[in-house]
Amino acid sequence: MNISLQNIGRRFNREWIFRGVDYTFEQGNSYAILGSNGSGKSTLLQVLNGSLAPSTGKLAFEDGGKNIEPENVFNYLSLAAPYLELIEEFSLSEMIDFHFKFKSYKPGVDRAAVADILNLQGSRNKAIRYFSSGMKQRLKLALAFCSDTKMLMLDEPTSNLDNQGIDWYLGLVEKYSAGRLTIICSNQEHEYAFCENRLSITDYKP
């Protein structure tokens, strides 16, 4: 999956968040979108995942020479972000089962493996509402990494994680990001140090 941007811009009311973005994100490569809090990183990510239309410019999604319509991009995408909500009434097992009704497991992964990755084998019947903020973030990340999708998009992936959680996240990157188009929105270097390509949102401020 490749994403091509030609003179992309996005504004809210009369204020431009960014404009003039010419860039191509290519399958198998990793990219960091950098900028301070409130700079527009998450807005650009929402454009890239098809959930927000650009205000100007042309956006194209292509998979193996085939054009993909923006409304179908979700089929190729795994996303973890602080603003994405989990269904807190669900147990851990129910949340995993619900997620994987819409996504396929990566080869060698199943419901039990996801619980093992989270080290929550004894909490499979525990409601998500009783999880700490750190465990909720781990669950979002595990669901994204363990989904068999060509694109992986992560916004502030280590928010609410302690040092042990950061090491755990980096282990998931090493094991499950190979061959995918990986895009990280961040202003903390430990989250994106592995990314070969960097894009600074401030370069596209009007």
Structural domains of the chain, with CATH = 2-204 (3.40.50.300)
- 139-185 pLDDT, tens digit per residue, is 999 999 999 999 999 999 999 999 999 999 999 999 999 999 999 99
Write out the DSSP string of 4-69: EEEEEEEEETTEEEEEEEEEEE-TT-EEEEE--TTSSHHHHHHHHTTSS--SEEEEEEEETTEEE-
Q: What is the pTM of this model?
A: 0.94
Unique residue bearing structure tokens 């097992």: 93
Q: What is the pLDDT of residues 85-123, one digit of tens each?
A: 999 999 999 999 999 999 999 999 999 999 999 988 888
Distance CA 60, CA 77 (A): 15
150 touches 113 (CB < 8 A): no
